[in-house]
């Protein structure tokens, strides 16, 4: 899966920042370091590390090279 564009809707960005304490740049880093993603119903999820070593679970929709972020949080 090749991701050319990442879209984080403003409401999702606010939610992951306030509720899950995940920064926008961490989502980008996790997707850049993604080794694999699995499909879960209508979206994909990946578990990946940021440059700082934080492990995130990122849920996104994928269409035509664009990943639209649905959620991102710490993987426990």
pLDDT in tens, 4-46: 999 999 999 999 999 999 999 999 999 999 888 889 788 999 9
Per-residue pLDDT at 37: 87
For the full predicted model, state whether its pTM sits above 0.85: yes
CATH architecture for residues 5-74:
Roll (3.10)
Indicate the domain borders of the chain: 5-74
Cα 3 to Cα 64: distance, rounded to the nearest angstrom: 8
Backbone angle region of 28, left / alpha / beta, with phi > 0 → left and psi within -120 to 50 → alpha: alpha
* DSSP-derived pairing of the beta strands 5-7 and 66-74: parallel
Say if residue 76's pLDDT is above 80.
no
């Amino acid at each position: 899966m090749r991701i050319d564009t990442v879209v984080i809707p403003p409401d999702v960005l606010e939610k992951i920042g306030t509720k899950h304490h995940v920064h926008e740049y961490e989502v980008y880093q996790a997707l850049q370091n993604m080794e694999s993603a699995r499909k879960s119903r209508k979206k994909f999820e990946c578990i990946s590390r940021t440059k700082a070593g934080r492990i995130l679970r990122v849920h996104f929709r994928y269409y035509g090279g664009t990943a639209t972020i649905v959620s991102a949080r710490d993987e426990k």
